[in-house]
Structure 1
Amino acid sequence: MNIVASFVIGAVTAVAPVTTTTSLSWQDCGDGLRCAQLRVPADWSRGSGPKAAIGLAMLPAQDQARKKGVLLVNTGGPGEQITLLRQAKQSFADLTEWFDVVIFDPRGFGRSTAINCPIPAPFATEWVFPNKSAYDAYAAKNRTFGKACAREAGTLSGNLNSWQIAHDMEAIRKTLGQDRLTYLGNSHGTVLGQAYAELFPRKVGRMYLDSVFDHTTPDLRTWLQPRARALEGNFNRFAAWCQSTATCALHGQDPAAVWDEVMAKARREPIPAPEAGPQVRISDTQIASRAGFTFEATWERLADGLARAQAGDASFFAKVEGAPDPDLSRVILCADLPYPGYDKLKKLETALRRDTPHIGWRAVWPMANHCAGLPPTRTYPPHPIAAPGLPPVLIAGGEHDDNTPPADGRRLAGQLPGARYLKAVGGHALYLSGHPCVREHVHRYLTSGRLPPAGATCGEASSR
């Protein structure tokens, strides 16, 4: 299945005009930050049209006389960035030894020209949709949200994708007076990095991409398989932990068999959840939506919840944790990664179940929660990347990351000339979560251009 061929509507291909560099008026905006705004075209394919504002914040280098330049950062999302910088300044403190750290709110968010969608995006607590009727009902709500949001977006409607944001990044580079862009992108920030590397390869100085969200693979099944395998791998790690850990509630049993038993039971007849109410019953798709195998810190509670469900009480799986993403995030995400409808996704689920039968097949559904029913917009869809003249890029991925699996980073590294992939034992957002070995390699690369040796590996975060 090729999502470029099947789902692109009005893909952006026009070349943006060159804009004139303007100076920024930096102002103190609290928490040690300096803030400014940059005016850019609302649509870079029509540079002479209406303008939008891009909000910037700078965490200045500790020693302005000795700094090496500016480091542009995007931590992912897509979503507001400046507020996050205020909350997590310590994560960037090491970088201010060498750089002015600059972060920007992507178009539509925060201090940029903001889009305040008039109705909230729907939030599916059961996002492994049990049937087409449930999917269609959710898609209708998401379509209503998307249409209202598009009306509110005005000149930015249809102009929210990584192609447009990469051009914003180029305008930021010029305005900051940098000959080359030095960039750190995390998660969806790596999609922006991929777009910038393709569109402006000779303007890249150094680029570090952490937890790559692959934007180069148009075949959806190929794109989903690494996610399914990584998630199934985390399930297998959980099962092995249970078998070797006396405090696991399933110790002495086969945890995989218990999981299969509970899922089969809930599929035949939803399991009571008395703590949630006398009439509440939990289905297999609800369990699949709410069971988390990624983080070891949750395994003991999960094992206890499974043991109770095996005994006929699924109250653990009645709890819905987390919160919906910012409303606008899904508009950008789905413009970068357009997604098919229920029937095709159900076929993909069936195909993935052959290799990842316990939980990996669930990887089909998270993007559907974002994209189901959204009205068509101009997209910048996944496609193989070519970046002649791009200098060596450093890429790292956590071996246990099932959100942006390491296979994505390896695949991207294989397409970028001279790129180096750094394998690390860990999960998502290695640099920002404080992985010491990864941070050491990143600092060396960003300050000197020296890549880790070929085949270098970072072990557990507690080790060097």
Structure 2
Amino acid sequence: MKKIRKVVAGGVCLLTVLSGVAGTSAAATTGPVLSWRDCGDGLLCGSLAVPSDWARPGQDPITLGLAKLPATIPAGKRGVLLMDLGGPQAQISAFRQPALQQRFAELRQWFDLVIFDPRGFEASSGISCPLPAPSEADYVFAEQAAFDAYAEQNARFGRECARTPLAGELDSWQVAHDLEAMRKALGERRLNYFGNSYGTVYAQAYADLFPGGVGRMYLDSVMDHTNPSLRNWLGQRARANERSLHRFAGWCAAEPSCALHGRDVLTVWDELIERATQQPIPGGGTTVSAKQIIARADVSAERRWPAFGTALAEAHAGDATKFATKPSFPPDPSVMRIAICADFPYPGDYRAVRAVETSLRTVAPRLGWRQAWIWAMNCARLPGNGTFPPHRRDFGGFPPVLVVGGEYDDNTPPEWGRHLAAQLPGARYLAANGDHAVYVDGNACARAHVHRYLTAGQLPPKNTVCA
């Protein structure tokens, strides 16, 4: 395993915002210039050669794939806005969809929108892993033997991937250097950046390492990479997951169509889990355990609350058929977990994971504690785990950035965004009554604030909440 990279001491800053026109008075721009070609679906595509390992620039280069949606009003163009919508995963193929392009039609009035596939994914030099990444829908492992078998499968997957030299070079430290190379190749004196979800991890690393290149940055649904306490960081996500269960209970109390309307939903949940712990509930020609119900409980998305209410009511009545089918998920891009676990390491020992679960049960006793196992499913015993882990930054003395979070988001909980914003003097945190990916999800209030910020540097008033 590669030695963990150390944070450079001194001179660290984050997310500079210019008060005037973006692209003035910044670091010199040198390096290759991108050339663009039409690659269909309204996109112009280009490529950029960078080192496979920025810690050893003499190593064989790799190629980064980029694509551009040109500004629709060139006369009023304010430069380039580099974007990453998260994952981590390929971006260019997603942006071939007209529906996604339409979400950014307003921003295209003012900016060339440039997207890129992070190293390891699709149009960038990719990694082809010989074995598929393992997954387990019932990821709450009740027995050590089952966990150990899964973790060893995950380790074998990682060892085979590691035969590709790039496999150990996918953390956000490397991607931050890629961003700096892109800034230079785009001819931009400052990097104006739109980061959503995992794209915010790259933003944090870039601003930490290249403060002189930072322009305006909009960070939506922050994945906090500045909290080195695993239990504190994961506890915030566990509490958010628990809040989703409570919000579902509140919806049932107010919504006559809910199958549990008029009943105490949390009591129903507690009774069902206790009963299933003593003896699995029959249904669908099999039986369903308490940990299977917990793993299969889908409470995050409001649109699925009616179905979940029905499933819960029937299971409490003795028929767990609607919980009996193991969910099937499309396989994640194999490279995804390699990149995530390089930035967010996680223990691979069963007892250590159980200790995390015990800690999370103190803050999220009904449901949120399952987060301990979600992360284990991805990272358990994966080679390259933790090459660039979360760490505190010493930010200060820089103009504000705009951070937005959905108050109902249990994927990247609002606590993460607030924690990052609190470290940035003058930063503005904008709360939205919504879920994950506030801008892309179409919150009109938040979008208007984002447009004013990116085009004119204008931040929303303090304590603004977007309905």
TM range (shorter): over 0.9
1:273 and 1:282 in contact (8 A); partners too? yes
Give the Cα separation in 2 of the matches to 1:377 and 1:309.
39
1:218 aligns with 2:228: yes
Match among 448, 454, 463 for residue 455 of structure 1? 463
C-alpha distance in 2, partners of 1:170/1:357?
Answer: 43
Cα deviation for residue 157 of structure 1 reads 2.7
- Out of 85, 101, 108, the residue aligned to residue 75 of structure 1 is 85
Unmatched runs of 5 consecutive residues or more in structure 2 = 9-27
Does residue 12 of the first structure (1) align with residue 5 of the second (2)? yes
Q: CA RMSD in A?
A: 1.7
Query: Per the alignment, in what secondary structure is the counterpart of residue 293 of structure 1?
Result: coil
Could you say which residue in structure 1 is the equivalent of 2:361?
353
- Report Cα offsets for 1:326-370 as digits up to 9, x if no partner: 111000000000001321221222222223221121222211111
Q: Give the direction of change, closer, same or farther, for the CA distance of 1:134–1:19 in structure 2 (3 Å limit).
A: farther
* Equivalent of residue 156 in structure 2, options 134, 144, 152: 144
Q: Which residue of 1 aligns with 2:62?
A: 52
SS in 1 for 2:137: coil
Q: Which moved more, 1:211-220 or 1:225-234?
A: 225-234
> Does the 8 A contact of 1:36 with 1:56 survive in 2?
yes
Do structure 1's residue 327 and structure 2's residue 334 form an aligned pair?
yes
Structure 1: gaps of 5 or more residues: 1-7, 460-464
Task: State the 1:66 CA deviation.
Answer: 2.0
Match of 1:302 among 271, 296, 308: 308
Tell me the equivalent position of 1:134. Answer: 146
| From 110, 121, 125, the counterpart of 1:98 | 110
1:107 partner amino acid: R
Aligned residue for 2:324? 318
Residue 260 (1) aligns with residue 270 (2)? yes
- Kept in 1, the 8 Å contact 2:151–2:380? The answer is yes
TM-score by length of 2: 0.92
The correspondence of residues 411-430 of structure 1 with structure 2, limited to 5 A, is 411-430=419-438
Q: Is the 8 A contact 2:341 2:385 kept in 1?
A: no
8 Å Cα contact 1:158/1:377 also seen in 2: no
User: Which residue of structure 2 aligns with residue 3 of structure 1?
Assistant: none
How many residue pairs were aligned? 444
**How far did residue 418 of structure 1 move?**
2.1
Equivalent in 283, 287, 291 of residue 281 of structure 1 = 287
Task: Provide, for residues 133-154 of structure 1, a one-character-per-residue CA deviation record: whole Å limited to 9, x for no partner.
Answer: 2211110111111111111x22
Partner of 1:5: none
Aligned residue in 1 for 2:130: 118
CA gap 1:401/1:377 in 2 versus in 1, 3 angstroms? closer
What amino acid sits opposite 1:205 in the alignment? G
Runs of 4+ in structure 1 displaced over 4 angstroms? none
Note if contact 2:226-2:391 (Cα within 8 Å) is conserved in structure 1.
yes
Q: Give yes or no for contact 2:222–2:405 (8 Å, CA) kept in 1.
A: yes
Match of 2:74 in 1: 64
Q: 1:383 to 1:296 in 2, by over 3 A?
A: same
The answer to whether 1:39 aligns with 2:49 is yes
Shift of residue 302 of structure 1? Answer: 0.4
Q: For the structure 1 residues 422 and 14, does the alpha-carbon distance in structure 2 shift closer, same or farther, using more than 3 Å as the test? A: closer
Query: How far, CA to CA, are the matches of 1:45 and 1:283 in structure 2?
Result: 49
1-structure distance, mates of 2:254, 2:32: 62
Aligned counterpart in structure 1 of residue 205 of structure 2, from 186, 195, 200: 195
TM superposition shift of 1:49: 1.5
Residues 355 and 389 from structure 1, CA distance in 2 versus in 1: closer, same or farther, beyond 3 angstroms?
closer
